[in-house]
Amino acid sequence: MEQDALDKLFMARCLELARNGMGNVSPNPMVGSVVVYNNRIIGEGYHKEYGTEHAERNAINSVKDKSLLKSSTLYVSLEPCSHFGKQPPCSDLIREVEIPRVVIATSDPNPKVQGRGIESLKNNGVLVTTGVLEEEATELNRRFFTYHTKRRPYIILKWAQTLDGFIDTVRVPSSPIAPVWITNDLSRTLVHRWRSEEQAIMIGTNTVEKDNPRLDVRDWSGRSPLRIVLDRLLRLPNESNVYDGSLPTLVFMGNNATSSARKPAFAEIPNMELFTIDFARGTEVQILKELYQREIQSVFIEGGAMLINSFIARDFWDEARVFVGNKFFGDGVKAPHFQGTPLKYDDVGDSKLFVYRNS
């Protein structure tokens, strides 16, 4: 087999390994690595959890006969780091064990790296090949790349709508405070899996009032995201599920709520933080700026229509996941105003899932 084909084969394994870190490594990227001797993998690893050993170190440590490293090639799905963070530089380790060749899928957009890892290896006599399955590697870490290149989180919009284009029925004061389900159990389980893959989940005031969601991953194994609630006037009741103190929760309130008598009550809720913004001046920009500074690389916006429409209007979105259930409402809350050609669609039980990307 030609060397180019071999490089792609082993890099594909790196990407496969990297996916195992989904939902556990943020704000670090998902990275996989393999060590190859005589066209055979003798070691492999991936970044398992934020703060723990990086993929390259895990791959190198898994090699039983370390004497083979001096005649091996290291494959890694992202440029090795060259700075001290939670872990020491991987580029230093590669030089220390004297691996002669390194194959890299893509460079690291993090300003702390940005080619310095590649430069360090080359300057120390390591033969470096880059750009192998680069597009696939960038797609895998699209959250990480968006965060560092656009200086904001990767934004995923999600909603479910009926065949006639509604996301909710007409609510009256006597309506129960609970979701009006449009899809099915399989769809809800899928949404909980998605939540476990993102760092934060955001909803507006009306959604809390009408549905009283928990915004956790109780139907899936994984880490629940940071809950973000827009409560401009601090008018949501303390009994709301999102204010139960069970998960870290960030509440964006308006500057006209700073004198609210309810603030002391919120201060007593564990895992709760209030942050003031000016809702009259670019709400979306202020929210994204704050999330960027908190190193939140992805946010899952689940509703309602007003909140989702505001992000669409500002073109602050990267991906939209739209369920279409097998129901008609006839009247109610219109689905977000959205145009685009689906990247793909799938059948999810008796519902359909359409996925869009913002080009």
Q: Which of 181-185, 248-252, 260-264, 353-357 comes out lowest in average pLDDT?
A: 260-264
Q: Read off the tokens for 90.
A: 């991987």
267 has a pLDDT exceeding 80: no
User: How far is it, in rounded angstroms, from Cα 216 to Cα 245?
Assistant: 12
Q: Contact at 8 Å (CB) between 318 and 146? A: yes
Residue 259: what pLDDT? 63
27 has a pLDDT exceeding 80: yes
pLDDT digits (tens, 9 = 90+) for 82-113: 866 667 889 999 999 999 999 999 999 998 88
Residue length of the chain: 359
Residue 261: what pLDDT? 67
pLDDT digits (tens, 9 = 90+) for 156-177: 999 999 999 999 998 888 788 8
| Percent of the chain surpassing pLDDT 70 | 97
- Provide the sign of the torsion angle of the four alpha carbons 277, 278, 281, 283, taken in this order: positive
DSSP secondary structure of 43-108? EEEE--STTS--HHHHHHHT-S-GGGGGG-EEEESSPPP-S-SSS--HHHHHHHTT--EEEES---
Residue 212: what pLDDT? 95
pTM for the full predicted model: 0.92
Q: Read off the tokens for 200.
A: 């934060």
Q: Read off the tokens for 251.
A: 């509440």
What are the start-end ranges of the E strands in the chain?
Answer: 32-37, 40-46, 73-76, 101-104, 127-130, 154-161, 166-168, 200-203, 226-230, 249-254, 272-277, 298-303, 319-324, 333-334, 344-348, 351-357
pLDDT digits (tens, 9 = 90+) for 110-133: 988 888 999 999 999 999 999 999
> What's the mean pLDDT in 203-221?
94
Cis peptide before 304 (omega within 30 of 0): yes
CA dihedral angle for residue 303, residue 308, residue 310, residue 316, rounded to 10 degrees: 130
> What's the mean pLDDT in 67-77?
97
Residue 131: what pLDDT? 97
**To the nearest whole number, what is the mean pLDDT of the chain?**
93
> What's the mean pLDDT in 306-334?
95
Q: Read off the tokens for 327.
A: 């129901």
The distance from CA 212 to its chain's CA centroid, rounded to whole angstroms, is: 24
Q: Contact at 8 Å (CB) between 293 and 131? A: no
134 is catalytic: no
pLDDT digits (tens, 9 = 90+) for 217-248: 999 988 999 999 999 999 898 899 999 999 99
CA-wise closest residue to 290 among 202, 204, 351, 355: 202
User: How far is it, in rounded angstroms, from Cα 45 to Cα 54?
Assistant: 8
CB 196: neighbour CB atoms within 10 A? 18
User: How far is it, in rounded angstroms, from Cα 124 to Cα 176?
Assistant: 67
Q: Contact at 8 Å (CB) between 76 and 140? A: no
Residue whose pair of structure tokens reads 């977000």 in the numeric block: 336
> What's the mean pLDDT in 240-258?
91
Query: 3-state DSSP: the chain helix, strand, coil percent, rounded to 5?
Result: 30, 25, 45
| Range with the largest mean pLDDT of 147-156, 236-245, 253-262 | 147-156
Residue whose pair of structure tokens reads 């220390």 in the numeric block: 96
Residue 171: what pLDDT? 86
Phi, psi of 192 (to 5 degrees): -65, -35
CA-wise closest residue to 151 among 261, 36, 289, 252: 289
2, 44, 53, 56: the catalytic one is 56
**Strand ranges of the sheet holding 40-46, from the earlier edge strand across to the other edge:** 40-46, 32-37, 73-76, 101-104, 127-130
